[in-house]
Structure 1
Amino acid sequence: MNALFSVTADAAAPGVLDAGLDLVSLLLILAGALLCLTAAIGLLRFRDVPTRLHAATKPQVLGLILICLAVALSLRSWPVVAFLVPVVLIQLATAPLSAHMVGRQAYRNGTVAQRDLVVDELAESRETPPAAGG
């Protein structure tokens, strides 16, 4: 009777592990969705370019990473992981770059309030345009 009981207990363990991984993936999707929602609300509610850029990059990227991790845990497949890793890496590479470019252009256009800047490292570049040669 003990041998039969141990076999059924071992067979039940993968079901418990699957349920636990599904619960973790559910929590990760909820956390990722909340972070993406806060990013969207931040884009609508914040007034100036630097704070909007912060809202567009930081929580949105973390939310995407959490959602990708949840999908990988939920599907439990190596091809899915191999697909999601480049998605996350490309997002990590492009979000800061695009935010930098938008922030730089906002500074050049004068839409960034100069009084709000603590340190203005680009003040010299406003005096002499980069293409002027001197």
Structure 2
Amino acid sequence: MDAVLDAIAAVLVLIGALLCLTAAIGVVRFKDVPTRLHAATKPQVLGVMIICVAIALALRSWPVTAFLVSVVLVQLATAPLSAHMVGRQAYRNGRIARDDMIVDELADAGRGPDGPSDTPER
């Protein structure tokens, strides 16, 4: 039974590593900020989660599993938040191709490079 769990763990590490590799390739290859952010967050977080499951299977220890749960929760909390903040700043700086947008919700609110800024007037 241990050999089967170790083999499953090895396969999961390989799958997680491939997902993290695709995230890195996407960040390098994609042309604009939103697609790079998508590539940086979605497969990377899933890859880290799969690798954490593999480590938990390989080590079979409750303290390690508890630590890995906290690692996954931090990844789930910080990756979308940081991507959102970077995306908003890229929008404010005009680094997003407005022609590629289908819906521009921030322009409706009067924000962004074509509207008033979020900073209060003095």
Q: Distance in 2 between matches of 1:103 and 1:34?
A: 25
Residue ranges of structure 2 left out of the alignment (5+ in a row): none
Q: Distance in 2 between matches of 1:120 and 1:132?
A: 22
More helix by share: 1
Give TM-score, length-normalised by structure 2: 0.93
| Structure showing greater Rg | 1
Instruction: Give CA deviations for 1:61-80 in whole Å, capped at 9, x if unaligned.
Output: 00000000000000000010
- Mapped pair 1:64 → 2:52: no
Instruction: Give CA deviations for 1:9-46 in whole Å, capped at 9, x if unaligned.
Output: xxxxxxxx111111110110000000000001111111
Residue ranges of structure 1 left out of the alignment (5+ in a row): 1-16
Which residue number corresponds to residue 131 of structure 1?
119
| AA matched with 1:116 | D
Q: CA deviation at 1:54?
A: 0.5
> 1:30-109 to 2 correspondence within 5 Å?
30-109=14-93
| AA matched with 2:39 | A
Aligned length: 117
Q: Distance in 1 between matches of 2:117 and 2:4?
A: 58
Give TM-score, length-normalised by structure 1: 0.84
Q: Percent same amino acid among aligned pairs?
A: 68
Q: Distance in 2 between matches of 1:120 and 1:79?
A: 46
Matched residue of 1:20: which SS? Answer: helix
Q: CA deviation at 1:125?
A: 1.4
Q: Distance in 2 between matches of 1:112 and 1:80?
A: 42
Which of 64, 78, 103 pairs up with 1:119? Answer: 103
| AA matched with 2:4 | G
